[in-house]
Chains A and B, each alone.
Chain A
Amino acid sequence: MRRDRNPLLKLYALAVYAFLFAPIVILILFSFNDSKRNFIWRGFTLKWYPELFGDEALLAALGVTLQVAVIAVVATTILGTLLGLGLARLRSGAASGVADTLILLPMVTPEVVMGISLLLFFALAFSANGSIWQIAIAHIAFSISYVAIIVRARAVSLDPRMEEAARDLGAPPAAAFFHVTLPLIAPAVGAGALIAFALSFDDLIITSFNAGVGSSTLPLYIYSRIRFGVTPEINAISTIIVTVTGVLILAAMRFGARSRARTRAAEAPPASERS
């Protein structure tokens, strides 16, 4: 059935992949370049990396970023997982429509709008102007939807008879949830948590409106530095960040793939599926 390979299209596809990865590869290469002006290759060096540890503003920003990310990931994962499970149970009806809209809206609202809306909310309601908690609350608000959607995708494919069986065997609702439902959706919860971490760790626009004195995050710190030019230290810290988030996202995708594979294995008889 399938036509033979299309070499021209394949070449084009390779070019697009090159376009997608070239800037990141160049950035990584130049972080090992032994030249302050860094537009010509002058040999391999690791000297920019140790310099990062002497930069106190950078370390402080990293500390804030990690604190915010931990708070945001814990809260987002719990709230998003519950929401995803609830949505999977609702399936249809007016309530589900309202809930769906409320979940999708944060994903289509321009980030700058979300950023200032939270700035106004905290300034007018609490006279607050930026703290680790304010940033974390903002991050939770825009990450819940992602976790909810990932968990729902897994939960709708669960066989409700699994939990019913546990209940029939005398398990109280909480025990049935923690021993049956939660283990079954665990890969999706893990994937959601990793994505929540990546979102929080990377966010710049919404954070820029909700950070205050002493609560600058790593992306904000980098942003303020690169407005004044390109430096090898920034190349080095960027390389570290790109590597860490890249590994996390690949891990999240593997979780997701395993989650789908398990779902498929649990379905009997296997549903006919398009390749």
Chain B
Amino acid sequence: MIRDRRRDAVFLLPGLAWLVVFFAVPLAIIFVVSLGTRDQFGGVILDHLGLQNYHRALEPDFVPTVANSLRYATLTTVFSIAIAYPIAYWISRYGGRRKNLLLILVMLPFWTSWVIRTYAWMIILRDNGVVNGILGALGLTDGPIQLLNTDFSVVLGMTYGFLPFAILPLYVSIDRLDPSLVAAARDLYASGRAAFWHVTLPLTMPGVIAAALLTFIPAIGDFVTPDLLGGAQTTTIAKVIQTLFLSSKDWAFGSALAFLLIVATIVGTVGTLRILRREVIG
């Protein structure tokens, strides 16, 4: 037995050590730096640690940025689940032998470069892009409609990008659902709609919640889509963090924002998992 333990350690240690040194320790550093102040050369001073950066993050002029981030992430999550549920249902119930192929096709765009997929939407949505070109050629519009650099384009780009994250957990959850439960509801004279609302949806709630988490977390941390599809004037937390680190060099304040983002993510994840557990048990 003891020899086995030692063997386990040989397998586990290198990878876990890597994750501790290059993942856990850097996360801890974020918190320490967030308590520091910036010096005039863009460095960090860690002499007088305090909460001043957190006070700054809670000031009223920062509210629109936080609101933008939350709005984009929430809308993306809602749209992703609304679009994903029916197709996950279709793959599970009607996919037959081609289920695996259909799932691979869902995942394929996800594996191609994020920045390139976002760029593709720029081609489609810009003033002289594909959509405006078609509308103009059909004589439906006089001039180009502004589609790019709007809330619409940001939410569209994010929904497009994170849709596979919603489809997969929903598929798993729907595929596990025993169809005879729905059949039983129908036998007891439930309408198709009633069977869905009272049987199918409640039983697949864990999948819905997992899908919500898997879209919300990357959506709130994404700065590429708001930057490319939202234009220069749209600010989100992730975009502000990027600017603070790469151009205006205020690492301490940027770290405070990043730490708040981690806390929000963890609270959201743990809270959601708790609801999930209650749903499953009760």
Contact = CB atoms under 8 A, between A and B. Distances in A.
Nearest to B183: A1
Chief secondary structure at chain A's binding surface:
helix
B72 interface: no
Interface stretch (B16-24, B60-68, B200-208): B16-24
A86 interface: yes
20 contacts: A27-B120, A27-B123, A39-B126, A79-B18, A82-B14, A83-B16, A99-B12, A102-B20, A112-B258, A140-B22, A141-B19, A141-B23, A198-B111, A201-B113, A208-B242, A208-B246, A230-B119, A230-B126, A249-B108, A253-B107
Interface in B198-238: 213, 217-218, 220-224, 227-228, 238
Nearest to B245: A116
B12 A19 contact: no
Interface in A64-118: 78-80, 82-83, 85-87, 89-90, 99, 102-103, 105-106, 108-114, 116-118
Nearest to A80: B15
Interface string B128-168: 11101100000000000000000000000000100110000
Contacts of B23: 102, 105-106, 109, 114, 117, 141
B94 interface: yes
B124 interface: yes
Interface in A129-155: 137-138, 140-141, 144-145, 148
A234 interface: yes
A6 interface: yes
Contact of A137 (B22, B105, B228, B258): B22
A243 to B, nearest CB: 9
A223 B245 CA distance: 17
Given A86-B11, A230-B119, A140 B18 contact: yes
Contacts of B8: 86, 89-90
A117 B26 contact: yes
Interface string A214-234: 000001001100110010001
Interface stretch (A7-15, A50-58, A262-270): A7-15
A65 B109 CA distance: 21
B78 to A, nearest CB: 16
Contact of A246 (B12, B108, B220): B108
B91 interface: yes
B188 interface: no
Given A16-B87, A103-B19, A109-B265, A24 B117 contact: yes
Interface of A: 1-2, 5-6, 9-10, 12-13, 16-17, 19-24, 26-27, 30, 37-40, 78-80, 82-83, 85-87, 89-90, 99, 102-103, 105-106, 108-114, 116-121, 124, 137-138, 140-141, 144-145, 148, 173, 198, 201-202, 204-205, 208-209, 219, 222-223, 226-227, 230, 234-235, 238, 241-242, 245-246, 249-250, 253, 257
Nearest to A102: B19
B104 interface: yes
B133 A110 contact: no
A138 B21 CA distance: 11
Contacts of A19: 160
Contacts of A109: 23, 27, 262, 265
Contacts of A20: 105-106, 108-109, 160, 163-164
Contacts of A204: 113-115, 224
Contacts of B221: 110-113, 205
B24 A102 contact: yes
Contacts of A140: 18, 22
Nearest to B86: A12
A24 B109 contact: yes
A145 B18 CA distance: 11
Nearest to A5: B94
B179 interface: yes
Given A9-B89, A226-B122, A245-B112, A110 B11 contact: no
Contacts of A39: 123, 126, 128-130, 132-133
Given A26-B130, A30-B123, A208-B242, A13 B90 contact: yes
Contacts of A241: 112-113, 116
Contacts of B117: 23-24
Contact of B29 (A22, A26, A99, A120): A120
Contacts of A201: 113
Contacts of B133: 39-40
Contacts of B26: 114, 117-118, 120-121
A24 B120 CA distance: 7
B1 interface: no
